[in-house]
Amino acid sequence: MPTLTVTDDTFKTDVLQADKPVLLDFWAEWCGPCKQMAPALDALAEELAGTAIIAKMNIEDSPDTPLDFHVRGIPTLMIFKDGEIVATHTGAMTKSKLTTWMSENM
């Protein structure tokens, strides 16, 4: 399963009402560290299919949700469970650190 693209319009349904934990990556096209993390997130989306949802929100295309969650820098990663934020991380991570962080918080 590829990463899920989330927008301001689909955030409530895709993230808050999801039946699995959701890792949401706030990113932008011009963000170098965001682009560096993309392959790791794509790989995790495949590895965790059926267990968790890996989602991405472009902050330029959908500015309201990042503002609501006080996203100040990118990449910002948030893990949501049952509609609530359980963990937040700002800055790029390697795939192994990302996997560890997710397992600690999911």
pTM above 0.85, yes or no: yes
pLDDT surpasses 80 at 1: no
pLDDT, tens digit, 9 for 90 and up, residues 47-61: 998 899 999 999 999
Q: Report how far residue 45's alpha carbon sits from residue 59's, in angstroms, rounded to the nearest whole number.
A: 20
> What pLDDT is attached to residue 29?
96
Query: Domains plus CATH for the chain?
Result: 4-105 (3.40.30.10)
| The three-state (H, E, C) secondary structure of the chain, written as one string | CCCEECCCCCHHHHHHCCCCCEEEEEECCCCHHHHHHHHHHHHHHHHCCCCCEEEEEECCCCCHHHHHCCCCCCCEEEEEECCEEEEEEECCCCHHHHHHHHHHHC
pLDDT of res. 106: 84
Annotated active-site positions, please?
31, 34
pLDDT, tens digit (0-9, with 9 covering 90-100), for 11-66: 999 999 999 999 999 999 999 999 999 999 999 999 998 899 999 999 999 999 99
Residue 74 corresponds to which tokens in the numbers above? 């990118």
